[in-house]
Amino acid sequence: MENLYLMMAPLFSSKLLIVLFFGTLFGLILGVLPGLGPTTGGALILPFTMTLDPLSAIVLLTSIYCAGTYGGAITAVLINTPGTPAAAATCLDGYPLAQKGEAGRALGMATVSSAIGGIFSVVVLVFFAPLLAQLAYEFGQPEYFALAIFGLTMLASIGDGSPIKNLIAGAFGILISTIGKDFMTSIDRFTFGINELSEGIGFIPVVVGLFAISEMLTQSTLLDQVFKRITLKAVKLPSIDDYKKTWKTILRSSGIGSFIGVLPAEGGTVASLIGYSEAKRWSKKPKEFGKGSIEGIAGAEAANNAATGGAMVPTLALGIPGSATTAVILTGLIIHGVRPGPDLFREQPEFLYGIFGSMLIANILFFVFGFFGAKIFARITLVSNKLLWPMIFAVSVCGTYSLNQSLIDVWIMLLFGVIGFFMRRYGFSLVPVIIGLILGELVEGTLRQSLVIFEGNWLMFFTRPIALTFFILSFIALIFPLIKRKKIKND
């Protein structure tokens, strides 16, 4: 009961409500614009959050996360281009339905299922995050090491694209985290005599470079692209008949999305694809999929928004991000001096439940904004790339510079922009780099501390039941793509 009251606290704070209002609005705009999204937007807004108190800062970031994930659907339905990668599956049926003159119905279903998926995942978050945090009390250094390894292997296993390329990207991310002074012995590593690198490479220059600048370079290759826009008259609430057809799909996808979200992976993107394919598998009319099936839209959208709450579970309970955007949120927490993990649940419940409550409100807010304002948000896509991207560049550069007031950070951002562009071009996912970077210190630190505890005996890792369980799960995660491929071949 007390926790419920704490959850509702944001409703009684005018400051938090204003933050939620603008966060949701900003998130929707970011989601609608192809190439941008909650990850890039969150990274760009991070410096601004320094002017806010920790709760307001994280509320701002989480509302951007929830609304941005939904916003991608508007572009997916109206111009057949996912505003965010998580909305890719929405294009498959959203656009064909819009082409049939039912854009309002398609967006109505996307809005309703996104909101239900999002709210469902907040409930999962409220129940499971404290349980996981409780379990985490049993974790020592070896368990955290095994958990981080499990996170990275899961990323390779269920991430987008080739599992081996994902592993390379993850290892690259961890390698970046080793740049600078070794945190245990103060020995310089990969600094090449550059003093500014002694402190290591910051998270923000890498994220902004990999997502915003690399996207800018990608956009420079797509200038000839012409979007066919579908006119939207108004968003329509789904009919009773639509609800009858989709309620099972929405619930199933909400469950799938929340579960996938909890696993460290590409959160919404993978969740929406699985949600969509499961909706097709269970549908009475699977042949309608790809031709404008309302179930297809519901399946994809409920899943990608359900992943938002799910991804927050390991982020808050263990300090292990469940997705790229939650990695940004985790950075926000650290910048504001909040250390996620089991102690946070015991020491600052008002802070945590404030986040849970504001995520719930953000899901309701984007439903209202999406329902009444989708037509206006759709017009944002009319802003020409020739004007939009130079402006994003200006904000990226100033935002990156502002954190440490260091020009080196800006050069690093540009370098990672170029690296990110070529990684994407050749099929390497960027998300593992981000997760690797944020988990790098944890992986190395816990490994070394474990070895001190074990007096250098590596085999001792396997004597710890929780660590052993994570290692077995990591092994399964690694061989899972091989089994899947073999099964597809046999089928």
Partner 1 sequence: MNNVQNKKRANKSSLPFFFTNSFVVSSIIIIISFVLLIVAFTFDIVPPILNRGIQPATFPKALLVLIIFLTLIVYFLSLKIPWKKEKKLPKQFFITLYNFILFVIIAKTLDFLLAISVLSFLISYFWGERRIIYLLLVSILFPIIVFIFFETILGLRFPPGIITNIYYN
Among 5, 22, 127, 190, binds partner 1 (CB under 8 A): 190
3-state secondary structure of 181: strand
* 165 binding partner 1? (CB under 8 A): yes
Among 398, 472, 479, 483, binds partner 1 (CB under 8 A): 398
CB of 430 to partner 1, least distance (A): 15
* 426 binding partner 1? (CB under 8 A): yes
CB of 17 to partner 1, least distance (A): 21
Among 417, 420, 431, 477, binds partner 1 (CB under 8 A): 417
Residues 438-457 interacting with partner 1 (rule: CB under 8 A): 444, 447-452, 456
* 196 binding partner 1? (CB under 8 A): no
Of 176-184, 244-252, 299-307, 318-326, the segment contacting partner 1 by CB under 8 A is: 176-184
Residue 308's nearest CA partner among 88, 64, 66 is 66
CA-based angle 29:34:35, to the nearest 5?
105
CB of 458 to partner 1, least distance (A): 10
Q: Cβ of 330: how many Cβ atoms within 10 Å?
A: 26
Among 18, 53, 221, 282, binds partner 1 (CB under 8 A): 221
CB of 85 to partner 1, least distance (A): 18
CB of 474 to partner 1, least distance (A): 14
Give yes or no for a contact between 271 and 256, defined as CB atoms under 8 angstroms apart: yes
Q: Phi then psi for 180, rounded to 5 degrees?
A: 110, -170
Distance CA 302, CA 110 (A): 8
3-state secondary structure of 137: coil
Beta bridge partners of 188: 181
Output DSSP code: residue 290.
T
Among 12, 14, 223, 226, binds partner 1 (CB under 8 A): 223
The contact pattern for partner 1, residues 280-319, with x = CB under 8 A and - = no contact, is ----------------------------------------
* 174 binding partner 1? (CB under 8 A): yes
Give yes or no for a contact between 275 and 138, defined as CB atoms under 8 angstroms apart: no
Among 402, 466, 468, 480, binds partner 1 (CB under 8 A): 402
Distance CA 482, CA 129 (A): 32
Written as one letter, the residue type at 264 is P
Give yes or no for a contact between 77 and 106, defined as CB atoms under 8 angstroms apart: yes
CB of 449 to partner 1, least distance (A): 7
Among residues 290 and 427, whose Cβ is nearest to partner 1?
427
Output DSSP code: residue 239.
P
Among 6, 52, 172, 466, binds partner 1 (CB under 8 A): 172
Among 184, 237, 479, 482, binds partner 1 (CB under 8 A): 184
Of 83-91, 199-207, 317-325, 384-392, the segment contacting partner 1 by CB under 8 A is: 384-392
Among 6, 52, 123, 175, binds partner 1 (CB under 8 A): 175
Among residues 11 and 184, whose Cβ is nearest to partner 1?
184
* 419 binding partner 1? (CB under 8 A): no
Distance CA 295, CA 299 (A): 6
The number of helix segments (H) and strand segments (E) in the chain equals 20, 2
Instruction: Give the helix ranges, DSSP H, for 234-293.
Output: 240-262, 267-282
Among residues 364 and 403, whose Cβ is nearest to partner 1?
403
CB of 184 to partner 1, least distance (A): 4
* 278 binding partner 1? (CB under 8 A): no
Give yes or no for a contact between 186 and 463, defined as CB atoms under 8 angstroms apart: no
Of 8-16, 131-139, 232-240, 387-395, the segment contacting partner 1 by CB under 8 A is: 387-395
| Six token digits for residue 1 | 């009961």
Q: What is the DSSP string of 142-180?
A: HHHHHHHHHHHHHHHHHSSS-HHHHHHHHHHHHHHHT-E
How many residues of this chain interact with partner 1, rule: CB under 8 A? 61
Spatial neighbors of 52 by CB under 8 A, at least 6 apart, are 19, 60
3-state secondary structure of 322: coil
Q: Which residue shows structure tokens 């826009």? A: 229
Give me Rg for the CA atoms of the chain. Answer: 22
Residue 123's nearest CA partner among 366, 272, 299, 310 is 310
Kindly list the residues in this chain that would bind partner 1 in the complex (CB under 8 A).
47-48, 50-51, 162, 164-165, 167-168, 171-172, 174-175, 178, 182, 184-185, 187-190, 192, 216-217, 220-221, 223-224, 384-387, 389-391, 393-395, 397-398, 401-402, 405, 407, 410-411, 414, 417-418, 422, 425-427, 444, 447-452, 456
